[in-house]
């Protein structure tokens, strides 16, 4: 039995201190994993949870599944590739090459969650920074619209609690302040002081109040306290969650103006609390390739627009074959949207059996990124993290299958 380091791909923290004891191909012990990471590792060794290669519900070989998937992709004039947020950078590159070869639309889940925030960071509208640097030097942590305790269970332990590591005669010394902007009480808010509690959808008004006070005007007592908190800090970081994104309806212009205004008193950076472990990698890779982070069509050169987003493609019956990679839209999106996919062939890559694999005509059971196949990923803060293989398996990687499909459709 051997002890192996594992970069956990349970979320975009990409914790690199997780350890597993492996005997043969079985995981016997897990150290330093949160509930999300432990669930991922436990499911990896459960054959009842793992997906296999299927065509129309019948188990088949990888070669036969590739043959059927390539046939479906070739006969469809309007293809849509969706997902890749839980794939390595190498697989994402292969997926983009396949989309270009097919003249397909490609999109990921950032088009209805963190996309506008990540785009604001990549274009320079919002300042950001490395978690490694923040861990050593930031003195103000603000969780805005994010209950990290649930979404990223080790986030506080890895990036805030290290500030408690020094002892003085009085006991533990808090070297940084933790606060949050939230609409409800949560596990994270219970640790914060102060808590800026807003009405649902009230983020834009709160930001406007902060801007007014920053410019010498009047505002609410809560907004004044927030500005004073920023003024007293030397280096602050805002961990922006989905609560903020949805409240602002993806429009970060006023938020960016606030961050710029507050930066006259302190260094202030923003980091997106991304869920999928390599969503930011997809956004950065597509941005480098096309100038856009999502919603791209390769049908005639490079095009971008709302009509190329997954939701609009489905609602408007614009796609007649959908390739889903490492995503499960059938469990996360409304049924009235997914009903529009009736009659549309679906090809699905996933390590696990999901509602989406059950709806697919062709299924590829794949290796788990970071555990059974190596590569690289981009953490939520933009740092590139290597993913070494931790244990062997007989499952093919996303990259391998995508390259085989590209060879078929190009031939």
Query: Model confidence over 257-281: pLDDT tens digits?
Result: 999 999 999 999 999 999 999 999 9
Cβ-contact 134, 13 below 8 angstroms: no
The confidence score (pLDDT) of residue 272 equals 97
The confidence score (pLDDT) of residue 166 equals 53
Q: Which of 143, 121, 107 is nearest to 306 (CA)?
A: 107
Give the span between the Cα atoms of 93 and 71, in whole angstroms: 22
- pLDDT greater than 90 at residue 3: no
- pLDDT greater than 80 at residue 142: yes
- pLDDT greater than 90 at residue 333: no
| Beta-carbon contacts of residue 260 (< 8 Å; ≥ 6 apart) | none
The confidence score (pLDDT) of residue 172 equals 58
Residue with tokens 């590569």: 375
- Express the helix, strand and coil content of the chain in percent, nearest 5 each: 40, 20, 40
Give the span between the Cα atoms of 12 and 279, in whole angstroms: 8
Q: Which of 285, 378, 282, 364 is nearest to 9 (CA)?
A: 378
CB burial string 13-26: b at 16+ within 10 A, e below: bbbbebebebeeee
Give the span between the Cα atoms of 271 and 128, in whole angstroms: 6
The confidence band for 158, taking pLDDT boundaries of 50, 70 and 90, is confident
- pLDDT greater than 70 at residue 168: no
The confidence band for 96, taking pLDDT boundaries of 50, 70 and 90, is very high
| Beta-carbon contacts of residue 183 (< 8 Å; ≥ 6 apart) | 145, 197, 198, 199, 200, 202, 243
pLDDT in tens, 112-128: 999 999 999 999 999 99
> Taking the model in full, what pTM does it have?
0.94
pLDDT in tens, 212-252: 999 999 989 999 999 999 999 999 999 999 999 999 999 99
Q: How many residues does the chain have?
A: 411
Residue with tokens 């260094």: 267
Give the span between the Cα atoms of 381 and 383, in whole angstroms: 6
Mean pLDDT across the stretch 204-213?
97
Helix, coil or strand: residue 149 = helix
Token readout for 408 is 């078929």
Mean pLDDT across the stretch 356-374?
96
Mean pLDDT across the stretch 351-380?
96
Mean pLDDT across the stretch 166-173?
55
Token readout for 8 is 């956990």
The confidence score (pLDDT) of residue 134 equals 86
Q: Which of 364, 360, 362 is nearest to 351 (CA)?
A: 364
Cβ-contact 70, 361 below 8 angstroms: no
Residue with tokens 């060879």: 407
Q: In this structure, what DSSP letter does residue 112 have?
A: G
End-to-end C-alpha distance for the chain, whole angstroms = 45
The sign of the CA dihedral 373, 89, 99, 347 is: positive
Give the span between the Cα atoms of 197 and 370, in whole angstroms: 38
- pLDDT greater than 70 at residue 163: no
The confidence score (pLDDT) of residue 173 equals 61
pLDDT in tens, 37-74: 999 999 999 999 999 999 999 999 999 999 999 999 99
Q: Cis ω on the peptide bond leading into residue 397 (within 30° of 0)?
A: no
Instruction: Kindly state the percentage of the chain with pLDDT values over 70.
Output: 96
The whole-chain average pLDDT of the chain stands at: 93
- pLDDT greater than 80 at residue 160: no
Rounded to the nearest 10 degrees, the angle between the axes of helix 398-410 and helix 62-75 is 50
pLDDT in tens, 308-321: 999 999 999 999 99
Farthest CA pair distance, the chain = 74
């Amino acid at each position: 039995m051997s002890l192996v380091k594992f970069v956990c791909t349970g979320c975009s923290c990409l914790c690199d201190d997780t350890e597993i004891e492996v005997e043969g191909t079985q995981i016997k012990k897990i150290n330093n994993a949160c509930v999300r990471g432990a669930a991922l590792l436990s499911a990896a060794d459960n054959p009842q949870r793992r997906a296999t290669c299927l065509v129309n519900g019948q188990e088949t070989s990888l070669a036969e599944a590739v043959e059927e998937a390539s046939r479906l992709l070739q006969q469809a004039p309007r293809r849509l590739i969706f997902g890749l947020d839980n794939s390595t950078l190498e697989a994402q590159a292969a997926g983009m090459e396949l989309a270009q070869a097919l003249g397909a639309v490609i999109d990921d889940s950032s088009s209805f969650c963190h996309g506008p925030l990540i785009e604001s960071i990549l274009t320079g509208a919002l300042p950001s920074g490395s978690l490694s640097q923040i861990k050593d030097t930031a003195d103000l942590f603000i969780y805005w619209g994010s209950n990290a305790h649930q979404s990223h269970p080790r986030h506080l332990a890895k990036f805030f609690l290290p500030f408690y590591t020094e002892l003085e005669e009085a006991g533990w010394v808090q070297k940084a302040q933790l606060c949050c902007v939230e609409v409800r009480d949560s596990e994270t808010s219970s640790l914060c002081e102060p808590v800026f509690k807003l009405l649902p959808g009230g983020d834009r008004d709160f930001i406007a109040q902060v801007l007014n006070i920053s410019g010498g005007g009047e505002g609410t007592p809560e907004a004044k306290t927030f500005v004073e908190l920023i003024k007293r800090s030397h280096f602050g970081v805002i961990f922006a969650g989905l609560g903020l994104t949805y409240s602002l309806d993806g429009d970060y212009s006023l938020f960016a103006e606030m961050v710029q205004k507050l930066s006259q008193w302190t260094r202030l950076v923003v980091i997106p609390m991304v869920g999928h472990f390599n969503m930011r990698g997809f956004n950065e890779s597509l941005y480098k390739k096309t100038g856009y982070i999502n919603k791209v069509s390769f049908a005639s050169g490079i095009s971008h627009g709302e009509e190329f987003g997954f939701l609009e493609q489905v609602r408007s019956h614009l796609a007649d074959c959908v390739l889903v990679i490492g995503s499960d839209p059938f469990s996360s999106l409304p049924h009235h949207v997914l009903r529009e996919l009736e009659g549309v062939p679906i090809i699905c890559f996933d390590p696990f059996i999901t509602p989406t694999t059950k709806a697919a005509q062709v299924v590829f059971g794949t290796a788990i990124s970071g555990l059974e196949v190596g590569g690289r990923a981009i953490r939520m803060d933009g740092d590139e993290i290597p993913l070494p293989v931790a244990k062997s398996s007989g499952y093919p990687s996303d990259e391998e299958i995508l390259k085989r499909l590209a060879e078929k459709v190009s031939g």
